[in-house]
Amino acid sequence: MTTQEKFKNAIRDVKDFPKPGILFKDITTALKDAEVLKEISDLLYEEYKDKGITQVVGIESRGFILGSILAYKLGAGMVLLRKPGKLPADTFKVEYELEYGTDSIEIHKGALNSDDVVLLHDDLLATGGSASAAINLINKFDVKELHVNFLIELDFLNGRDRLSKVDAVYSMVHY
């Protein structure tokens, strides 16, 4: 069984979360399995080990989990994209729409520079709202390259269509 198949089998579906009509893909059941977590981490490392990544940017909050592991394995720094008011220094902020509401994220103004090769990581690509907002924030720094990675992509929501000004997009599993 491939890593992708093991990961898919370990994901729990939660109906009507966070609101009625949403089928939430819960990765916590996969993360608690040490073997699956290791295999996911190793597979993502193999995907990016030769890309020259200098910074991994994780989207709050599930993007912090594997983002941190990837940063460590790649010998890169870790940059956090957080909800408003959670970062202590001056920030850039972008508001965006979710499939079930609106939100905003922030990044420290000095977090990246034009020499950085960035890997943006999050757990899920749905409609592309949070990923597009994150890309807009990262592009304020005129980084050298921007790679985008998701554990899960919900293809039927066409979120990838909203992702522009990136060098590559990779999703480990598709629904």
Each residue's pLDDT tens digit, 23-36? 999 999 999 999 99
Residue 100: predicted pLDDT: 64
| Half-sphere exposure (Cβ direction) of 20: Cα atoms closer than 13 Å | 0
147 is a domain residue: yes
Each residue's pLDDT tens digit, 75-107? 999 999 999 999 999 999 999 877 667 899 999
17 is a domain residue: no
1 is a domain residue: no
Query: Domain of 119?
Result: 50-174
Least confident of 50-64, 96-110, 147-161: 96-110
Binning pLDDT at 50, 70 and 90, where does residue 73 land? very high
Average pLDDT over residues 2-12: 96
114 is a domain residue: yes
Q: For 160, which DSSP code?
A: G
Residue 102: predicted pLDDT: 84
**What is the residue whose two structure tokens read 């079930």?**
100
135 is a domain residue: yes
Long-range contacts (CB closer than 8 Å, 24 or more residues apart) made by 72-77: 73/41, 73/45, 73/49, 74/45, 74/48, 74/49, 74/119, 76/119
Residue 139: predicted pLDDT: 97
For 29, phi then psi, to 5°, come to -70, -30
Report, as residue numbers or ranges, the catalytic residues. 62, 99
Number of residues assigned to the chain: 175
Alpha-carbon distance 36 to 119, whole Å? 21
4 is a domain residue: no
Is residue 124 helix, strand or coil? strand
Average pLDDT, rounded, for the chain: 96
Cα 146 off chain centre by: 12
Element (H or E) spanning 131, and its range? helix 129-139
Domain with residue 108: its CATH number is 3.40.50.2020
What is the pTM assigned to this prediction?
Answer: 0.95
Least confident of 57-71, 94-108, 153-167: 94-108
Residue 97: predicted pLDDT: 76
41 is a domain residue: no
Residue 99: predicted pLDDT: 61
% residues pLDDT > 70 (the chain): 98
Contact 133, 94 (CB under 8 A): yes
85 is a domain residue: yes
For 7, phi then psi, to 5°, come to -60, -50
Domain count, the chain: 1
